Amino acid sequence: MLLANKGFVIDARSAASSRGMPGIRILGTSVPSETNEKSEIEAGVAAAMEGIVAGLTKPLTAEEKQPKQRLEKLPRIAFTGSYEEVNRVFYKSGWTDGLPISPPTEKAVAEMMTGTDLPADHVVAKIIPRLGKATVEKIAINAVMAGALPTHMPVLMAAVQSLMDARSRFDTFGVSTGSWAPFFVINGPIRKDIHINCSSGALSPGDIANAAIGRAIGLIAKNIGGARKGVEDMGVFGNPGKYSLVLGEYEEESPWEPLHVERGFRKEDSTLTMFLPNTYIQTIPRDTNAKGLVETYASLNPGMSCLLVVPSHARVLSDEGWTKQKVRDYVLANSAPPFPPVQGGEGTPVQPTAQSRDELMIVVAGGPGAWIGLLRSAGGWENSFVTKKIELPRNWDKLVAKYKNIVPVYMGY
């Protein structure tokens, strides 16, 4: 028998079913989620006792004795109809993110798969919480729905691998009440090949690579992994970053070595680095000299974070002898943790380890201006930043040439 807050009963049923226990008895309780109020806990437990006794003593039904998982063989063609009809059916089936999708036709999916040399049935990863098999074709289907291009497929493959890397802790953050969203930093030559925005408004709508890559990952997590809002993904408020959080490091305008070189890759490699923040902060520095910048960074209490430094600030810091590592060391040494320390068994705070303190990623990005950006997560969960090399297909140059002109061209007023 399983006890769960009444708001999590559907989530509990999904979790039990996905682990081969569809017939388990689940009792919804009135104990508030994540409370430490003793009176609320005691009242909720007292109210649940009658149901607990009944659940433990009532004879099993025939269905409970031999529970059967529901296995449905889905047709290859989900629906045939107009653009509007397809979108309505997909939305009502819970397969979209609330915005219109591009119908994943056989032709569109086949074209999307030209972005990889791997076969359609190759399993890139099994995605939690329901361990859905992320085959190349399924990734391509969701990429088409998101409006992505075949040149985005290598990035999406690396993104799926990074999510399922144990160090990301997507197993926790992907379905948590804290509403964590995957954030991706792209480095290397692929930024120019697929027009990743590294400058003004990189995190805003308007660039197909930045927007569609993040959106595709959201659909993949939902449709393949089974992280559905209010069912398995129990974010209290949700997070608009789940639509897309993708940018490139502005390597050409940075005085420092790029992120992927810091993390052990060659400059000519293309990579994707990710972690799961749930907070995005923008602020301005106290002063635009080096001292004012690093003091402002420290005041943000970053914890496990990505600090976005505009190129002009990076040059000021570099000119005054500040490397990325020196900035990182100063900020971590002069900031308070953003979350209260976890209490030990005797009520004493658990001190962060040296490894957990080394959790600040610094990325040069953004356009002209004095703003500072910070995407903050939580450390201490055996989580860390994850970097994957982006593997390109043999036909990469031809593919890039085919899609290179798909860029916005704004008319003057």
- pLDDT for residue 201: 96
Q: Calculate helix-pair angle for 153-163, 136-146, nearest 10 degrees.
A: 110
Cα 131 from Cα 219, distance rounded (Å) = 15
Cα 209 from Cα 345, distance rounded (Å) = 47
Cα 395 from Cα 406, distance rounded (Å) = 18
Q: What region does 353 belong to: left with phi over 0, alpha with psi -120 to 50, or beta?
A: beta
- pLDDT for residue 324: 95
Token reading at 382: 């055996």
Alpha-helical (H) ranges within 224-336 are 259-262, 290-299, 311-319, 324-333
Cα 90 from Cα 181, distance rounded (Å) = 23
Q: By CB neighbour count within 10 A (0-12 exposed, 13-18 middle, 19+ buried), where does 62 fall?
A: exposed
pLDDT in tens, the chain (413 residues): 888 888 888 888 888 787 778 878 888 888 888 888 889 888 888 888 998 898 888 998 888 888 877 767 778 888 899 999 999 999 999 999 999 999 999 999 999 999 999 999 999 999 989 899 999 999 999 999 999 999 999 999 999 999 999 999 999 898 999 999 999 999 999 999 999 999 999 999 999 999 999 999 999 999 999 999 888 888 999 999 999 999 999 999 999 999 999 999 999 999 999 999 999 999 999 899 999 999 999 999 888 999 999 999 999 999 999 999 999 999 999 988 766 554 444 444 444 443 344 589 999 999 999 999 999 998 878 899 999 999 999 999 999 999 999 999 989 99
pTM, full prediction: 0.90
- pLDDT for residue 91: 96
Cα 317 from Cα 320, distance rounded (Å) = 5
Cα 269 from Cα 89, distance rounded (Å) = 41
Distances (CA, A) of 122 to 77, 81, 157, 205: 20, 29, 11, 32
- pLDDT for residue 344: 46
- pLDDT for residue 195: 98
Cα 233 from Cα 22, distance rounded (Å) = 19
Cα 296 from Cα 286, distance rounded (Å) = 6
